A = this chain, B = another copy of it.
Amino acid sequence: MVRVTGGTTAEAGERILAGLDLWAEWPTATQRAIVGAALESFAERGFHGTSLKHIAQGSGLSTAALYVHFASKEELLFALGRRGHAIALELVRTAAAEPDPATAAQVLVYAFTRWHAEQRTTARVVQYEQGALTAAHAEVIAALRRDTERVVRGLVTRGVGAGAFAVPDVRGASAAVLSLGIDVARWYVPGGPWTPDALGLLYAELAGRLLGMPA
């Protein structure tokens, strides 16, 4: 696992982000072309708004060729959603493993926010398009989300116990911290007032206040 302790919040967060590889599941160039095109189109038009023609044209293949690599359009969405959620879970787990809860929270929010800004295409699909999944696939995704929430809640609980945080409601404060980062995928556009790095630092500070961290 990636080392967190040491350096500034931004440096520690960047180490975590550098250790994540969305593409690890898809080794070949053709697979990456398909997944990349699907990601783009799902993010822009939504799952139901995306036709196989969009994915085929975006990846330079025929629609039939897609079925060599994926069983269905829904399987493609599922693979994407599962990978994205696994990445997010790995991110929060790595950050939360830092011994000092205050540092862990800062790094977690920084990296989580920055990831949702930098990878907003992926994040949109991961956060907003999973409703089109089959019941069985949706349950796999829901389990990954529960794991992520549990890690954050565990960190907040640990920080409260250590006197580093003071919150009125651990579960609610944890949900709020995750919400801040996730919603970035909805509204963030590059070229605005913040770089992903600056937004990550700002949100880390705001989350620290929200958690009652001494300034």
Instruction: Spell out A's residues near B (CB within 8 Å).
Output: 44-49, 127-128, 131-132, 168-169, 171-173, 175-176, 179-180, 182-184, 186-187, 193-194, 199, 202-203, 205-206, 209-210, 212
Contacts and interface: CB of A to CB of B under 8 A. Distances in A.
Determine how many copies of this chain the complex contains. Answer: 2
Nearest to A188: B175
Contacts of A168: 202, 205-206
From DSSP, what is the main secondary structure of chain A's interface residues?
helix
B172 A202 contact: yes
B199 A187 contact: no
Contact of A187 (B169, B179, B180): B179
A80 to B, nearest CB: 16
B186 A127 contact: yes
Contacts of A172: 193-194, 199, 202-203, 206
A170 B45 CA distance: 32
The CB with the most chain B CB atoms within 10 A, among A48, A183, A184, is that of A183
A205 B183 CA distance: 19
Contact of A186 (B47, B182, B187, B199): B182
A206 B173 contact: yes
Q: Which 5 A-B pairs have the closest CB atoms?
A: A48-B48, A179-B183, A48-B49, A183-B183, A172-B202
A128 B132 CA distance: 14
A128 B206 CA distance: 25
Given A48-B45, A128-B128, A187 B206 contact: no
A118 to B, nearest CB: 17
Contacts of A44: 131
B202 A206 contact: no
A84 to B, nearest CB: 15
